[in-house]
Amino acid sequence: MAKRVYLFNEGSKDDRELLGGKGANLCEMTSMGLPVPFGFIITTPTCREFFEGGNRLPRHLQTEYNVALKLIEDRMGSLFGDPDNPLLFSVRSGAPVSMPGMMNTILNLGMNDVIAAGLARKTGNPRFAYDSYRRFIQMFADVVLGIEGDGFEEAIIDYKKEHNKTLDTEMTAEDWQAIIEIYKGMVSFPQDPAVQLRQAIEAVFLSWNTPRAIFYREMNNIPDSIGTAVCVQAMVFGNFGDDSGSGVAFTRNPSTGDKQFFGEYLVNAAGEDVVAGIRTPQPISSLEQQMPAVYKELFATQKRLEEHYSDMQDIEFTIQQGKFYMLQTRSGKRTGRASVKIAVDMVNEGLISDKEALMRVSPEHVESFLHPMVDPSAKTDIVASGMPASPGGATGKVVFSADEAVTVAADGTKVLLVRRETTPEDIHGMKVAEGILTELGGMTSHAAVVARGMGVCAITGCAELTINYEQGTATTNDGVVIKRMDTITLDGATGDVMLGDIAKTAASDSDDFQKLLGWADKYRRLGVRANAETEEDATKARELGAEGIGLCRTEHMFFEADRIDHIRGMILSENREERQVYLDRLLEFQKADMKALFRVMHDLPVTVRLLDPPLHEFLPHGDEELEALAKRLGKPADKVREISQNLQEVNPMLGFRGCRISVIHPEITEMQVAAIIGAAVEAQRDGHNPYPEIMIPLVVNVREIRAITDVIEKVIMEVLAREKVSIPYKIGTMMETPRACLGAERLATAVEFMSFGTNDLTQMTYGFSRDDVGKFIAAYLDRKLVEDDPFVTLDQRAVGRLMKIAIEDSKKRKKGIKYGICGEHGGDPRSIQFCHDIGLDYVSCSPFRVPVARIAAAQANVGPSSSE
Ligand code: ADP
Ligand code: MG
Ligand code: MG
């Protein structure tokens, strides 16, 4: 039968699975020869046995741990349950992964009335003995018997008031004895130490299934089956007197990452007092004066531990009568900045390799370098929360329309654009806003995508707000009214909306960060491109390391104020000649824009998507606006209204859009291709090496693609023949419909690249409209009907399966096709891992996510692959 009980000298740090994290590290420290109070660990499989046996400890467990207990008694020179020379234990839980929500530690287990008196006699320190006893009763009652701890604390507070005392250290032995008598009236607990121990072990196992623990496991995808270990350890006492104490410390500063030993301690206190914050602890530096020898040992120990684990450690220690003990070590939690600094410093110090350094930072941490963030410690007055659509923090005055944003921002006033939702018509307002807040929408609705593209903070789907444009108010569910020109703060990283101006930490660009990105580039296989249309975005993208443009959405170029009327004119044209006039003008705009992109990208590929949205998205909505437009175009208002009417669709997302526009209006495609290739020719003459890749959106089958590639190729041939030059180019498709993925084998014959447009592909696979998902996705997530928002993290099971099928089938027919992804998932770390695993060539994401994607792509290549 498998061994269930391990002594601290029988395991190592590699036994996490079996002994839990805490237990494995206690073993490791023991074998390093550090002063760890001796103890034993009951294994995690025993926890499973406990549940399988109907919440009962396995039959022989007690015999097994009694053997271990004897060995500890021998080593410590004291006996469990012996009043004259008592041995006391702490009982601690420890799962293989750190897990809040589990059982609290019980200290001083093994006490009763007789033993407390014995301990007082033996130590000659009755105050300490009775303080320890009352702590035991309190913890045992709370943790094992499930009696609320508040009553116990209140009893102490009342007692202190009555006796004019404030601090625990003023309490005498008699005071604590009186408290114990009060406790005994509140709770009855077993006096037999052996029974206490058995019940405490059971309580640790049972705490594996508290609702909090189950919830935490669900949130973090930790399997229920792994179970927890139990550590039973001889007690040492920080509450023995002024030559004793307890503390916690970090081997480096966990918020800045500076290489500087950092911590706090309390004199004459048990470790729980430091954590509970009932007294203000002293900085670790003053220990150097108070107990120089102990400090020296502590300092040497932390240094050794950090070198041994090659990572920043978070340690817990206790001092008993001038003697130093180690009670815990684990790798320390840290901020994003600290994680980057520590990883790079440790490579410089020769502690870890550059590959290991890459695995030490989370891609999310990288975000904190790119945007100013709301300072978490300054956060107050959260009045509503929505979806964290685009990270960063922003403060400004509230405006409710794009025009107003422009007017108010004109003199430099910072504004936040607050809308029910945004549309392409709001672009001018979004551009000047510090941040964007919408009541509706989701993580990939217009506001979210555009804001991420611009690197502007945004919160979408903030259903807790009701926006009233007429009154100029946004009212929260709790009745807080935010008025026009009120100052509020948005935290795009969490989705929180706060009143007033909340402090922020500045964006920074450190050498360490650049170094880390350099290592990422060395180790990644996936290419990283950016989604960008403007010269500004493309420049940003290159700066942040993009290796080309993976998606240039040409329609964005037409929404600019000086162009929109021309595309409207084109849409409202009644015959080819009329349309051609507008197309000729659009060609000039398009060509100029494309040339700017080719210039910025110099020799990197630029993937240009042909016109994609339904045409009516370009037309104004209101009647007045339509009339004004008719006047500007010199057309009868009735006619304009009629055409606009005809363009309305019941279901625009599935309507006349994407390459269907190219099929019906090849002249639009001809114009776009002439502009793209014409721009490339001019860029080449200016000394650049343009590489256009023309991408056809929303395709469903190969005949449709051929109908369009015929048009594209004819124009390219014409332009190149006329200009007498040659330009390398590619023609490919966006993979956005399930049919395209399932029929990829045939599509392969007509294309040179396939780029998965996973926003639409997700929308069409789920049948969830991405603009309406905000109405229900939060509830789906809450009730765990979906694991993740599929618009944020790629759904590997179904959407991912379609991608895999498309890749495998198309490869069967043709070698050398390049595969990419240009949906919002292209910037999501978990999705990037998947993209790497299924063999994509590149991901494309908004410029500001490029560094995140570089890190994630490297981690995907260096670390273990995703499970599915
Ligand atoms: P957590 O998992 O919450 O960190 P621990 O099991 O580390 O809980 O216990 C909390 C505190 O209890 C420790 O920081 C330490 O101060 C104290 N403690 C635990 N075991 C002992 C022991 N054997 N002797 C003295 N104090 C102990
Ligand atoms: Mg601890
Ligand atoms: Mg699409």
Residues whose CB is under 5 A from ligand 3 (ion)?
A: 736, 757, 760
Which of 47, 365, 371, 446 is the catalytic position? Answer: 446
Q: pLDDT digits over 170-179, tens only?
A: 899 999 999 9
pLDDT for 611 beyond 60: yes
269 lines ligand 1 (CB under 6 A): no
CA separation for the pair 575, 668 (Å, rounded)? 13
Nearest CA to ligand 1 atom 7: 328
Q: pLDDT digits over 426-442, tens only?
A: 888 998 999 999 998 77
Q: pLDDT digits over 89-146, tens only?
A: 999 999 998 876 677 789 999 999 999 999 999 999 999 999 999 999 999 998 899 8
Q: Compute the distance from residue 760 Cα to the ligand 3 centre, in Å.
A: 5
Q: Compute the distance from residue 142 Cα to the ligand 1 centre, in Å.
A: 16
Q: Where are the domains of the chain?
A: 5-236, 237-334, 371-505, 524-557+586-614+652-768+795-862
Q: Classify domain 5-236 at the CATH topology level.
A: Dna Ligase; domain 1 (3.30.1490)
Nearest CA to ligand 1 atom 9: 105
327 lines ligand 1 (CB under 6 A): yes
Whether 147 and 113 have beta carbons less than 8 Å apart is answered as no
Q: Compute the distance from residue 144 Cα to the ligand 1 centre, in Å.
A: 16
Query: Can you state the percent helix, strand and coil of the chain, rounding each to 5?
Result: 50, 15, 30
Q: pLDDT digits over 620-675, tens only?
A: 988 899 999 999 999 999 999 999 999 999 998 899 999 999 999 999 999 999 99
Whether 387 and 460 have beta carbons less than 8 Å apart is answered as yes
Mean pLDDT of the chain: 92
105 lines ligand 1 (CB under 6 A): yes
605 lines ligand 1 (CB under 6 A): no
Q: Compute the distance from residue 300 Cα to the ligand 2 centre, in Å.
A: 20
Q: pLDDT digits over 367-386, tens only?
A: 777 778 888 788 778 999 99
Q: How many residues does the chain have?
A: 868
Mean pLDDT computed over 182-207: 94
pLDDT in the model for residue 677: 98
pLDDT in the model for residue 867: 42
Pocket test for ligand 1, best of 19, 41, 105 (most atoms within 8 A of CB): 105
Closest CA to 752 of 838, 694, 791: 694
Q: Compute the distance from residue 546 Cα to the ligand 3 centre, in Å.
A: 21
Q: Compute the distance from residue 490 Cα to the ligand 1 centre, in Å.
A: 39
Tell me, yes or no, if 822 is annotated catalytic.
Answer: yes
- Other CB atoms within a 10 A radius of the CB of residue 98 amount to 15
**Nearest ligand to the CA atom of 733:** 3
328 lines ligand 1 (CB under 6 A): yes
HSE-up (13 A, CA, CB side) for residue 133: 31
CATH of domain 524-557+586-614+652-768+795-862: 3.20.20.60
Pocket test for ligand 1, best of 212, 327, 329, 331 (most atoms within 8 A of CB): 327
Closest CA to 530 of 454, 445, 635, 416: 454
**Nearest ligand to the CA atom of 99:** 1
37 lines ligand 1 (CB under 6 A): yes
Nearest CA to ligand 1 atom 8: 105
Strand pairing category for 282-283 and 262-267: antiparallel
Nearest CA to ligand 1 atom 13: 271
Nearest CA to ligand 1 atom 17: 271
pLDDT for 866 beyond 60: no
Q: Compute the distance from residue 698 Cα to the ligand 3 centre, in Å.
A: 6
pLDDT for 276 beyond 70: no
Which of 231, 822, 835, 845 is the catalytic position? Answer: 822
Whether 365 and 852 have beta carbons less than 8 Å apart is answered as no
90 lines ligand 1 (CB under 6 A): yes
CB-based contacts of 107, cutoff 8 Å, min separation 6: 90, 132, 135, 136, 139, 235, 270, 272
25 lines ligand 1 (CB under 6 A): no
Residue type, 845: C
Q: Compute the distance from residue 316 Cα to the ligand 2 centre, in Å.
A: 6
Q: Which two tokens stand for residue 462?
A: 């903030």
Closest CA to 461 of 477, 445, 473, 474: 445
Closest CA to 848 of 458, 461, 426, 376: 458
Q: Compute the distance from residue 345 Cα to the ligand 2 centre, in Å.
A: 27
Mean pLDDT computed over 510-534: 95
**Nearest ligand to the CA atom of 316:** 1
CA separation for the pair 822, 824 (Å, rounded)? 7
HSE-up (13 A, CA, CB side) for residue 357: 27
Q: Give the CA dihedral 584, 589, 595, 597, nearest 10 degrees.
A: -140
244 lines ligand 1 (CB under 6 A): no
**Nearest ligand to the CA atom of 247:** 1
CA separation for the pair 589, 557 (Å, rounded)? 8
pLDDT in the model for residue 118: 95
Mean pLDDT computed over 554-563: 86
Pocket test for ligand 1, best of 8, 75, 91, 92 (most atoms within 8 A of CB): 92
What one-character-per-residue DSSP string does 209-266 give? TSHHHHHHHHHTT--GGG--EEEEEE---TTSSTT-EEEEEESS-TTT--S--EEEEE
**Nearest ligand to the CA atom of 551:** 3
Pocket test for ligand 1, best of 41, 108, 316, 331 (most atoms within 8 A of CB): 316
pLDDT for 292 beyond 90: yes
CA separation for the pair 347, 357 (Å, rounded)? 7
Q: Compute the distance from residue 280 Cα to the ligand 1 centre, in Å.
A: 19
- Other CB atoms within a 10 A radius of the CB of residue 868 amount to 11
CATH of 371-505, one of 3.40.50.11890, 3.50.30.10, 3.30.70.270, 1.10.10.350: 3.50.30.10
**Nearest ligand to the CA atom of 248:** 1
Q: Which two tokens stand for residue 429?
A: 């307002």
pLDDT for 364 beyond 80: no
Mean pLDDT computed over 503-512: 79
Q: Which two tokens stand for residue 503?
A: 């402090």
330 lines ligand 1 (CB under 6 A): no
Burial pattern 258-276, b for ≥16 Cβ within 10 A else e, equals ebebbbbbbbbbbbbbbee
pLDDT for 868 beyond 50: no
CA 716 to chain centroid, in Å, comes to: 45
Work out the percent of the chain whose per-residue pLDDT is above 90.
76
**Do 5-236 and 524-557+586-614+652-768+795-862 agree at the fold level?**
no
Long-range contacts made by residues 531-536, C-beta under 8 angstroms, separation at least 24? 531/453, 531/822, 531/826, 531/844, 531/845, 531/846, 531/847, 532/453, 532/597, 532/846, 532/847, 533/557, 533/593, 533/597, 534/593, 535/593, 535/596, 535/597, 535/599, 535/600
Nearest CA to ligand 1 atom 16: 271
Domain 237-334 superfamily per CATH: ATP-grasp fold, B domain (3.30.470.20)
CB-based contacts of 784, cutoff 8 Å, min separation 6: 218
Where does the pLDDT of residue 324 fall: very low under 50, low under 70, confident under 90, or very high at 90 and above? very high
pTM for this one?
0.80
